[in-house]
Amino acid sequence: MIDLSGLNPQQREAVTHGEGPLLVLAGAGSGKTRVITYRIAWLIGEKGVHPSQILAVTFTNKAANEMLSRVEHLVPHIGARPWIGTFHSTSLRMLRRYADRLGFTKSFAIYDTADQLTLIRRVMRELEMSDDAFPPRAILNRISNAKNDLVGPSEYEKENIDFFGARVAEVYRLYQRRLKEFDAMDFDDLIGNYVLLLQHNDAWLGDEDQTIYSFTGASSSYLTGFSSRFPGAKIVRIVEQVGGAVGLVGLVDIFAAEGLTRAQVDRVLDAQVAEQPTLRDRLTSEMTNVLMRGLGMPGRQSPEDVRRVRRSMQASGGEGTWRGGEKPPGMS
């Protein structure tokens, strides 16, 4: 039996979710890693899911190792391990098994930056392009950004009709062709090619501000567009930080991710107070006004808007929280 007594109501709701897609909106310090690890442990220990059927991805090897260690502590002697790793390591692991389905061998080479630049220069020579007019590193950066956005050569060509963009598109197309011929992928291909292998994802948990990790191809649209991609998906909001404080940053994430109006914001806060009456002294109208003014509600906000408000709150409030008896961050 998995002990869930250490989780708050929203965390337990996410951990014990049944069938169907699930999106958890959780801000900084709200226990995202705890939710993921308990969810994995609950699926294995309570629902009988085989560990090999579970995939969890995160941003760093440290976080992945911590998650695996926690799962093994919660469910001792599980035998097989669940798939827990970074985006790139997980992608590589899958591609080593199934790269043949994409026309590569399972022992394909992985090009580092030096290899990439060498191939870019070779392709440019084939296209009779000058290094002075078209710096190879600038072209590689353009191609890398396109891959992080999962934009292939054909789509890139359609979206970039200026002179420089059109030449980059030529290099991009031939560069990918040569990679395939040499049975190689570059670092950015790992995630893009892994995506080609995936047919379905049924659960996501994310902090919108972590989409600043552009090297993973992360985009806030992956969170804000989740409901449209998965109609009927269950959405759980976690706004209380570990230790009981209401996280202003967590509230900002949720409001911005969903583009809430003032009336909807009030309903979210009212629901939190109804479930946890002790929060009432911290969820005041003054605090709501600070959030609304900071975000310029109503209207959907950009990731930069969210980061701006985060920085302001953290600078004025230390931990990004506001407790009863104190002035809300941003108020004189």
In the chain (332 residues long), the average pLDDT of successive 10-residue segments reads 89 91 77 89 93 89 91 88 90 92 94 96 96 95 92 92 93 96 95 78 45 40 68 79 49 52 55 54 49 48 50 45 36 34
Whole-number Å distance between alpha carbons of 171 and 156: 11
Give the tokens for residue 257: 């991710």
* Dihedral sign of CA atoms 191, 222, 305, 317 in order: negative
Q: What is the pLDDT of residue 78?
A: 80
- In terms of residue numbers, what domain contains 178? 109-182
251 and 326 share one domain: yes
Is residue 3 domain-resident? no
Is residue 95 domain-resident? no
Q: What is the pLDDT of residue 148?
A: 87
The number of distinct structural domains making up the chain is 2
Choose the final residue of a domain: 182, 198, 231: 182
CATH number of 164's domain: 1.10.10.160
Q: Report the predicted TM-score, pTM, of the whole model to 2 decimal places.
A: 0.62
Is residue 289 domain-resident? yes
Is residue 32 domain-resident? no
Q: What is the pLDDT of residue 28?
A: 63
Provide the 8-state DSSP code for 238.
Answer: E
Q: Which residues have CB under 8 Å from 285's CB, separation 6+?
A: none
243 and 330 share one domain: yes
Summary count for the chain: helices (H), strands (E): 15, 7
Is residue 80 domain-resident? no
Is residue 293 domain-resident? yes
Is residue 136 domain-resident? yes
What's the Rg (C-alpha) of the chain? Answer: 23
178 and 243 share one domain: no
Q: What is the pLDDT of residue 313?
A: 46
Contact yes or no for 33/56 (Cβ under 8 A): no
Is residue 51 domain-resident? no
Q: What is the pLDDT of residue 255?
A: 54
* Run of H or E residues at 174: helix 163-181
